[in-house]
Amino acid sequence: TLLLRPTKKYQRFSGTLLLRRSQKPDLNIFNMAREDLKMDLSTALRESCQQDTEVVVENILVKNNGWEIMVNLTVQKITDAEQLQGLYLVVFECNTSNVPVSGGKKTRVTVKGSESLLIKNLKKNLQHTRETLQSTIEELETTNEELKSTNEELQSTNEELQSSNEEIETSKEEMVSLNEELQTTNSELQSKINEYITTSDDMKNLLNSTNIATLFLDNDLNIKRFTSETKNIINLIASDIGRPIGDIVSKFEYPSFINDCRNVLKNLSSKDLEIQTNGKQWYRLRIQPYRTSENKIEGLVITFMDITDFKNN
């Protein structure tokens, strides 16, 4: 027998069954106990502490000096004696005669109490393992469902990205086509601009070569362009383009000039007359509508033909 504290340190003991051969006493009971007793002692002590009850383990097989001994183990918490309260009484009781060990063969023994505690603990551990396994399986199933859902979302997103990529590719092709059309249009426009510049230069050279003063006005009687000979009749400079003709000082006496211009635009009929400048030069003046190739009126063309020699003769 022995008195044991919950810390597994014994208070006192009697008997030599617990001692291993050539082993000195130790305050820790598990350092003293035989290997055959350690597991059952530990299990019984733990059950007694947890359940606060007496625990009995029967038919524990212990080998001692070549003999096999059947031992009953009892663990009980002391509650009667005030000075011993909190200690555990551990009793080892031999219930059979010593049996010699033969040829190293192990005798089959039924360990009822130890087996019951072990089975109970194993069942408890097994149940806990099953619950943990079931919880893990459920978590894995949930995770698997989430992964499936995420995979479906990723597939859907991938399909949308592929669709968007195809649309972008189509738009790119359309942009390339539009760009080619735009380049063609720009080339045609540039060609027309070049033709217009060439035509404008040709007309300018043609007008200047005739030595006839010519003035072009728009529908609002603003100056569009003029030949160099016109400067001898009207005080014009290059920056006057865009200004109203009424704001420009002329060198001839023609008070109704502006009104006659408006009448020609209104009636679309030409007007011819002879005028004399301050320098005593005579000109035949003609005011006529400016017609485009589409037969639209876009202002006036005014010409001044020098007839001074004709008048003097």
Residue at 154 is within a domain: yes
Which domain CATH number covers 26? 3.30.450
Q: Is residue 236 part of a domain?
A: yes
Q: Is residue 267 part of a domain?
A: yes
pLDDT at 110: 37
Query: 151 and 87 in one domain?
Result: no
DSSP symbols for the chain: -EEE-TTSBEEEE-SSSSPPTT----SBHHHHS-HHHHHHHHHHHHHHHHHTS-EEEEEEEEEETTEEEEEEEEEEE--SSGGGTT-EEEEEEE-S--EE-BTTBPPP---HHHHHHHHHHHHHHHHHHHHHHHHHHHHHHHHHHHHHHHHHHHHHHHHHHHHHHHHHHHHHHHHHHHHHHHHHHHHHHHHHHHHHHHHHHHHHHHHHHTT-EEEEE-TT-BEEEE-GGGGGTB---GGGTTSBGGGS-BSB--TTHHHHHHHHHHH---EEEEEEBTTS-EEEEEEEEEE-TTS-EEEEEEEEEE-HHHHH-
Q: How confident is the model at residue 107 (pLDDT cuts 50, 70, 90)?
A: very low
155/132 same-domain check: yes
How much is the pLDDT for 18? 58
pLDDT, average across residues 70-99: 76
Looking at the fold, whether 14 and 51 belong to one and the same domain comes out as yes
Domain end marker among 110, 139, 170: 110
Percent of the chain residues topping a pLDDT of 90: 35
Please indicate, yes or no, if residue 192 is contained in any of the structural domains.
no
Provide the pLDDT for residue 112.
Answer: 44
Q: Please report whether residue 88 resides in a domain.
A: yes
Same domain, 71 and 133: no
Residue 188 lies in a domain: no
Q: Are residues 238 and 290 in the same domain?
A: yes
Residue 84 has pLDDT above 60, yes or no: yes
Position 165 in a domain: yes
**Confidence class of residue 298 from pLDDT cuts 50, 70 and 90?**
very high
Q: What is the CATH number of the domain that holds 259?
A: 3.30.450.20
Q: What is the pLDDT of residues 22-54, one digit of tens each?
A: 455 566 777 777 788 888 888 888 888 888 888
* 130 and 50 within one domain: no
Look at residue 111 in the predicted model and tell me its pLDDT.
39
Residues 263-278, mean pLDDT to the nearest whole number: 92
**What range defines the domain where residue 21 resides?**
2-110
Determine, yes or no, domain membership for 187: no
Dist CA 204 CA 218 (whole Å): 17
- Overall domain count for the chain: 3
